[in-house]
Amino acid sequence: MKLPIFIADAFTATAFRGNPAAVCLVENTLPEDAHQRIAGEMNLSETAFIRKLQPSDNFTQKNTNNTLTFVTMSGELKARRAEDGIVLDFPLYPTSPQDLHEVEDLIKAAIGDDTLVQDIQYSPDTRKLLVRLSDSYNRSFLETLKVNTEPLPRIEQTGKVKGLILTLKGEPGGRTPQYDFYSRYFAPWVGLPEDPVTGSAHTVLSSYWSQQLRKKEMRAFQCSRRGGELDISLRPDGRVDLKGGAAIVLEGTLTV
């Protein structure tokens, strides 16, 4: 069996940046182990399989509302085309203040004793710990910060934390383009030392920074080595739209 397959870099318009994901077009239902084997072969943290719902469907035809629905481990994810990118429809997850003493060892192991922390929040819905660094730091500090993720699963074994977000307020009047906030994301608990660009982390970041900045429309940059930018729009229905560019960097045929 031969399947069309692509690699697309998301949340960027430039090849080899953003978040790489494999997309495989499937004519017929595949055995479950085939999905896992293909994902393992692509060696990417995200691999999507697009299958026709009706035999008459055509992969090259436009959807009537330009929307695709993906079934993920976290539930349904809707994506729609916009003039200047792809919009992902996510739930918005609130945070609450986190007691420093409960996570102090984890934070010190990750970023050391000398890094100044301004705020600590926790999202129980996503089990993500949000650590806001001091406003005295700039983007370059976050980009070059050495984060030690190796010991974190040993330190936090309760299952409460499954992801660590480091975030920083944007620099007004600084770089062009300007961003409202910066972030990096780490999930060694699930085998992901650092994620290039993370939609799920921004469901938490959007909620936090919207309250901090009193804004519903924001622009964000994830400061990983690859880097990626997101346009954020909080909706009245309690969800959030995350918009980003996409660049197809590979197109080919997979033989199964």
- Give catalytic residues, as residue numbers: 46
Strand locations in the chain (E): 2-10, 19-26, 47-51, 67-72, 75-82, 85-91, 96-97, 117-123, 128-133, 163-169, 181-187, 192-195, 217-222, 228-234, 239-244, 246-255
Closest CA to 50 of 40, 60, 64: 60
Q: Nearest 5°: phi and psi at 146?
A: -85, 115
Helix (H, G, I), strand (E, B) or coil at 190: helix
